[in-house]
Structure 1
Amino acid sequence: MPVVDLENTITFAISVRDRHASADWYAQMLGFDLIYHADDAGWSELQTKTEGVTLGLGEQAEPAPGNSLPVFGIADIDTARTALEQAGVRFDGATEVIEGMVSTATFYDPDGNALMLAQDLTGAA
């Protein structure tokens, strides 16, 4: 039995210089559909061609090339984080909350690869 029970969603988050231009590029080149732009949070999200898999665009002045961060949907981030920490999983700082939008927590696999949990706070899920 797994330590946490993930939802049936995954978001691949990447850093980009201009979310709006990048969203247009992914729509034109790969046929992804814009879900939303959250300008206050510096975040945009697109639906890929795979059900339950989205692409998140985080705006950065100087994004690191080749970056990608899988973000796993979770119903209760606090319970999941506690269970993972009790199992010896290392987290990167505190859980971040953007009120009315999302709670996120970055953690690492045994090889130091970054992964993230995200709890939807919009009430839409």
Structure 2
Amino acid sequence: MSLISLQNTITIALSVKDRHASADWYKSILGFETLYHADEAGWSEIQTNTPGVTIGMGEHTKPAPGNCVPVFGIGDLDTARQKLEQANVKFDGETDVVDGMVKTATFYDPDGNAMMLAEDLTGTG
């Protein structure tokens, strides 16, 4: 038994310079939808493609990028990476492969926040 009972939701909080521009980027690059902009609070939330998982963006003049690395499962990492690179998305080096386990690639949003794509190579996922 746990000390507290958590809901089946996760919000990944990121620092960004312009929440509206960031929300547009996430929509056009990853297909996420804006849930709301709370301009008076300097906060926006977007819905990822995973039920119960949202990204919250706090607006800061000097964001602290790289403080969180959400990992998104992907069926075909190579094709996804190619499409993102064609959209001028920056990656951190080459794709890493652990044979029989996982293939990963880290990329960055316009504010330098790191994210990772992961393709399951175990044949079970």
TM-score by length of 2: 0.54
Counterpart in the other structure of 1:57: 57
Deviations 1:17-75 (A, max 9, x none): 000000000000000000000000000000000000000010001011202399xxxxx
Instruction: Quote the residue 2:25 is aligned against.
Output: 25
Assess if the C-alpha contact under 8 Å between 1:14 and 1:69 holds in 2.
no
In the alignment, which residue of structure 2 is the partner of 1:10? 10
- Of all paired residues, the percent bearing the same amino acid is 64
Could you tell me how far apart the structure 1 residues matched to 2:7 and 2:51 are?
A: 13
Q: Which amino acid aligns with 2:8?
A: N
Structure (1 or 2) with the larger CA radius of gyration: 2
Q: Which residue of 1 aligns with 2:68?
A: 68
Aligned length in residues? 70
Q: CA RMSD in A?
A: 1.5
C-alpha distance in 1, partners of 2:65/2:54?
A: 20
Query: Runs of at least 4 residues of structure 1 off by over 2 A?
Result: none
Contact 2:43–2:57 under 8 Å retained in 1? yes
In structure 1, list runs of 5 or more residues that go unmatched: 71-125
